[in-house]
Chain A
Amino acid sequence: MKRFFILVYMPILFVMNASSAAQIKSEQETAWTESQMKQLNYLWIKNLAPLGSDPSNSVANEKTAIDFGKKIFFDPSFSINGKISCSSCHKPELYFTDGLPRSIGRVKTRSNAPTLLGAAYSPWFFWDGRADSQWAQALGPLEHVAEHAGNRTQYAKIIWNKREYKKAYEKLFGPMPRLSDKKRFPDNAGPKGDEQVRHQWSQMSAQDQVQITTIFANLGKVLAAYQRTLKPEAARFDAYVEALIAQDSKKANKLFNAEEVAGLKLFIGKAMCVICHNGPLLSTYEFKNIGLPVVKELGVEQGRFRALREVTLSEFNCLGKYSSAKESDCAELRFMKTMRDETMGAFKIPTLRNVAKTAPYMHAGQFETLSEVLKHYQKRPITRVGHTDLLVTDLSDNDLKKLEAFLMTLTSQN
């Protein structure tokens, strides 16, 4: 009888030991060190600071400007054919992207449309940072021949002719000039666009050109005021961090499975993703060369290196006459990194917030899926121009799966 009991209980004891060992192992896998917790806390969306003022844009936080900017953002009349609005490529339902490798305005453009959620936090705009404010960025597509393809007097006159717009404009910026005077202000004139548009512009007085360009710049400023309100909401990742901080392991374990935990550990550890994808928006907004495949139609791109000249010379930069900033407010421009070695072939580090919902990836949509992106980091290919900023990592295929599982947790409701 005694022997029976031993025979019966021995396997039970063994099972219990295995179970507690597994539990300990599981706890070790999901446990976080103090140092790791500091890093997670820094990535938590709750630590996203309120967006500060934009000294170059005096209406950045004005409600009238936000409302006015929102209307313009969705208004296709601000284009050559009345069919292209900002929202054509930055669709709210797609996290303000368009799902295309490269956006299509009047024609196919050179760039993938990045999400606008949280974009206002970056000191630089466009993938190569050729604009140093969100309002200066907004002006680019409006008169680019491949995008909205309109012109400055056309846009000024849309505002002048629409009572609601004119009222909002004059409330923010004071009286508009008499744009009904077609001799002074042709219907279609601007320094960009086709030959006729440029010719009409060249016939205008310098003073009138400045008046029109001021209206054009202000158009960018109200668009920026609206876009500054677009921020990502908390994702499952943030709920997980919140649970960890509250030391609610039961809740944390419900929020993240083992693969996602492992992916996050890789993200802040061996894979070194946080070197570039850091802070609550998961980007340091610097420029890096990661040896992306060359898109045949675009050729080898110099990226940030080429943009340095453009942003320095732009009439719409922080130091320019259409900016309301003081010189001391323009530190990003004054102290921008210009070394060829660190800028050649580099593009802006994108946010990873909502990354699972904002395919395709990279500045020209080089990759269709997240797994393709991760494979690129694993392979670390040779660059065609400049040097790669990708560090040597030793990522297995299994690591990539875990990282992808983690990236899927960064999706918010909008």
Chain B
Amino acid sequence: MQASESMNHQHDMHGLSSVPNIPTPIYSEKKLFKLTLTSKINPPPLSKIHQWVLHLETAEGKPIEQAHVQVYGGMPMHKHGFPTHPQVTQSLGKGNYLIDGIKFSMPGHWEIWLNVQVGKQRDKAIVKLNIS
């Protein structure tokens, strides 16, 4: 699964409506970075810790090797975070980073928040997902 930035769709309180996950890279808020987030298990499992791969590029499409990435997230509609503390555990090269510790404890709308720092440049991105 790849993730989409857009979520302009109607949903019920528990987030079980269908929100498409468009396999397009997203831009960070200040448009400094281009990110593609891919679950290593497709579709992402429920109630099981698993890994994702973040592919990080400059806005012009050049892979970024030396980034510091913090990962948070949760279900904003339910006002709770991830049940775990996900982290980037490995730089895989060519702008790819392994994120481990992602766990979705229930179906619905989840967000993965990425704080990216490259040198003195900082930006953040929010990836919205519908997990079912």
Contacts and interface: CB of A to CB of B under 8 A. Distances in A.
Q: Which of A335, A336, A338 has the most CB of B within 10 A?
A: A335
Interface in B41-94: 46-47, 49, 75, 78-87
B106 interface: yes
Given A35-B16, A38-B107, A274-B14, A332 B49 contact: yes
A389 interface: yes
Contact of A269 (B13, B47, B105): B13
Contact of B80 (A275, A334, A339): A275
Nearest to B83: A286
B39 to A, nearest CB: 15
B14 to A, nearest CB: 6
A35 B106 contact: no
Contact of A268 (B14, B47, B87): B14
A367 interface: no
Contacts of A161: none
A342 B84 CA distance: 11
A323 to B, nearest CB: 17
B101 interface: yes
Interface size class of A (residues with CB under 8 A): 20 to 34
A312 interface: no
B16 A334 contact: no
Interface string A329-358: 001101111110010000000000000000
Interface of B is mostly: loop
Given A38-B16, A331-B100, A278 B86 contact: no
A39 interface: yes
A279 interface: yes
Nearest to B12: A35
Nearest to B72: A339
A35 B17 contact: yes
B101 A279 contact: no
A295 interface: no
Interface in A239-295: 268-269, 272, 274-275, 278-279, 284-286
Contacts of A334: 100-101
Contact of B84 (A35, A274, A337, A389): A337
A194 B108 CA distance: 51
Interface string B90-113: 000000000011010111000000
A38 B132 contact: yes
A17 to B, nearest CB: 33
A335 B49 contact: yes
A107 interface: no
A278 B15 CA distance: 13
A391 interface: yes
Contacts of A165: none
Contacts of B101: 331, 334-335
A39 B100 contact: no
Contact of B85 (A38, A274, A339): A339
Nearest to B102: A335
A74 interface: no
A39 B101 CA distance: 25
B78 to A, nearest CB: 5
Nearest to A124: B83
A284 B85 contact: no
Nearest to B75: A275
A335 B105 contact: no
Contact of A336 (B17, B85, B132): B85
A158 to B, nearest CB: 37
Interface in A283-342: 284-286, 331-332, 334-339, 342
Contacts of A336: 84-85
A335 B49 CA distance: 9
A38 B86 CA distance: 28
Contacts of B83: 284-286, 337
Nearest to A338: B85
B109 to A, nearest CB: 12
A38 B81 CA distance: 23
B100 A391 contact: no
Interface of A: 35, 38-39, 42, 268-269, 272, 274-275, 278-279, 284-286, 331-332, 334-339, 342, 389, 391
Interface of B: 12-14, 16-17, 46-47, 49, 75, 78-87, 100-101, 103, 105-107, 132
3 shortest A-B CB distances, which residue pairs? A335-B101, A331-B49, A284-B105
21 contacts: A38-B16, A269-B13, A274-B14, A279-B47, A284-B47, A284-B83, A284-B105, A286-B80, A286-B83, A331-B49, A332-B84, A334-B100, A335-B49, A335-B86, A335-B87, A337-B81, A337-B82, A337-B85, A338-B85, A342-B81, A391-B79
